[in-house]
Amino acid sequence: MSYAVLADLIARAGHVEILQVADRDGLGVPDPDVIAAALADADSTINGYVRVKYALPLPGTPRLLNTWAVSIARYVLHRDGAPDHVTADYKDAIAGLKDVARGLITLPDAAGETPAEVAGTHVAASPREVFTRTHLRGWR
């Protein structure tokens, strides 16, 4: 399951930008293999973070994951150096994915339901106290 498609990239970046970064053979259309590779890279990146918290595959694509997939794929397509706004979107996507993995952001699906979590995942609680006053009495 891909979190984004070519139409999503064009909707966000515009047809001209996508042609500039993905028309490698000069035929006036984005190269399907180039687009597929960038979207696959985005999917892999997203899955790496999301699988920490949620069972994959997800039952649907949350809108937030679509946005992040576009940001990541767009960054990947700019192989010779992305403009600052594309880099900022990419960094925001990665920061959001890290928050998902930590349990700070939940991913509701299109119906507003939260996908199933991976068994045994939870937000880490504060570590229990290791040294108490009793342990430290001997240290002066």
Question: Residue 90: in which H helix or E strand, if any?
Answer: helix 84-102
Confidence band for 122, pLDDT divided at 50, 70 and 90: very low
Is residue 45 a contact partner of residue 96, using CB atoms and an 8 Å limit?
no
Mean pLDDT, range 72-83, rounded to an integer? 95
Minimal CA–CA distance to 42: which of 73, 74, 19?
A: 73
Q: How far apart are the first and last CA of the chain?
A: 61
Q: What is the pLDDT of residues 37-63, one digit of tens each?
A: 999 999 999 999 999 999 999 888 899
pLDDT, position 26: 93
Give long-range contacts, CB 8 A cutoff, 24+ apart: 6-12.
6/30, 6/35, 6/39, 8/66, 8/69, 8/70, 9/35, 9/39, 9/70, 9/73, 9/74, 9/77, 12/70, 12/71, 12/74
